[in-house]
Structure 1
């Protein structure tokens, strides 16, 4: 391969998908990356003409991802006129989807990038939930979209992770009678805070099962009803001081509790 040979990547978005495919194919021929030039965000026939003008004077291939039919057809026509090889990387598979699933594509450029942005937002939210789980780094409370408070075993952590998968940054704080709640809890807008309560009987059942899995006896104060009543009373007093909404999670799945929280947000635009 000489330095004059080139692959032009043409896209109505960034062109990342096309570049990955071109490099994968080039590796089967040259054992290294092919020389590539990008023409991103092409919008009209003039943009296509610019590509053709450059490409026709060099040994080259045009590899493109263009979802707009008129623009695609114009590129095919101009490439054919100038005897330039132009390879459509998307439409064969799009046509297969349409035929098999009886659907039409929305033909909107940049959809993959939107998916990527959502992915990275989700990862960021999950990392946030891990970092600020169980009262760690209380400074994160002011950065959170949602702050969950409640006694131990009210599903704060799994609920945080579930909401993080929906791109919410969630911190959670355990409420323990012997440990004063962080002052930051009373400094953040109450609309961000959600209190989780549970019936004493249900919590006793959950904690007894927890002790059993850990190989401990049920005599531990952690699972005693007296201790549970003390914790719940203390937690409810703190929630009242915060002024946050409270959800009873006694017989609710994680998804159900999350739906209630999201419904509060969607209805009021906040959690207040």
Structure 2
């Protein structure tokens, strides 16, 4: 092909799902032939042979190529037969690979269109939840309290942030709010349904050890007021008062791994 000839190619992407997979493959292939311009025409959610007949007729009339991602066997067989009978170039993207996997594994394909989109949606929900947890960590923006699926409240070092991230990977949007005697808690905490709020508490001795280790890690003396038993008792008493005011579910995180605490929270949330 030289520069004086047409560089337009028509490609029909036929699928019993949305056709995104075929579309991506076509674009990747065409990119190797720049400056060829491909006109991609989708025929998504094909459900019967009559739809295939219409596509093949249009492809034959325009000299187009067909790329198809049909996972339902009778539709794939019909496309093979109809395309061959009409002398239309039709490329089966998934069929050979599915058959090879069946032979290799000894298992049958589920033959269900759109399963990859289920995975994609699942992935993107997880990414969205993680981004939410980062944005609304430590009450940086209290508007997240109303938007969250779960709001964690508790004093410093009760695993609010690790729990937020863990629950985000379970596709829950989590905001967390530190409870500090010197700071007024956001009004949103007392407006949202109490079932969406989870309080985190901890034993004084256990938190004292954790905070001292935190201070050491920061290169600070472990005698700072942040880690004293008196300060911790005051904070926990204040947090307990707030949690009772909200009427929320409370989990004691003392000696519990993040996964164990998260499991208790998920059990509670899914039961409400």
TM-score by length of 1: 0.93
Question: C-alpha distance in 2, partners of 1:76/1:241?
Answer: 68
- Tell me how far 1:3 sits from its aligned partner: 5.3
**Counterpart of 1:213?**
217
- Tell me how far 1:33 sits from its aligned partner: 4.4
Assess if the C-alpha contact under 8 Å between 1:23 and 1:33 holds in 2: no
The DSSP-based 3-state class of the residue aligned with 1:27 is: helix
> Which digits, 9 at most, give the CA deviation of each residue in 1:45-71, with x for residues without a partner?
110000111111233221000110001
Summarize the Cα distance change of 1:260–1:32 in structure 2 as closer, same or farther, 3 Å threshold.
farther
Corresponding position: 1:110 with 2:119: no
**Counterpart of 1:255?**
259
> Which digits, 9 at most, give the CA deviation of each residue in 1:117-136, with x for residues without a partner?
22222222222211211112
Assess if the C-alpha contact under 8 Å between 1:5 and 1:58 holds in 2: no
Aligned residue runs from structure 1 range 27-176, under 5 A: 27-176=31-180
TM-score by length of 2: 0.93
Assess if the C-alpha contact under 8 Å between 1:4 and 1:59 holds in 2: no
**Counterpart of 1:228?**
232
RMSD: 1.6
- Tell me how far 1:192 sits from its aligned partner: 0.5
**Gaps spanning 5+ residues in structure 1: where?**
none
Question: C-alpha distance in 2, partners of 1:105/1:175?
Answer: 52
Matched residues, number:
268
- Tell me how far 1:213 sits from its aligned partner: 1.0
Corresponding position: 1:204 with 2:208: yes
Q: In the alignment, which of 20, 23, 30 is matched to residue 19 of structure 1?
A: 23
> Which digits, 9 at most, give the CA deviation of each residue in 1:178-234, with x for residues without a partner?
212222211111000000011112211111111111111111111111111111111
Assess if the C-alpha contact under 8 Å between 1:200 and 1:225 holds in 2: yes
**Gaps spanning 5+ residues in structure 2: where?**
none
Summarize the Cα distance change of 1:42–1:237 in structure 2 as closer, same or farther, 3 Å threshold.
same
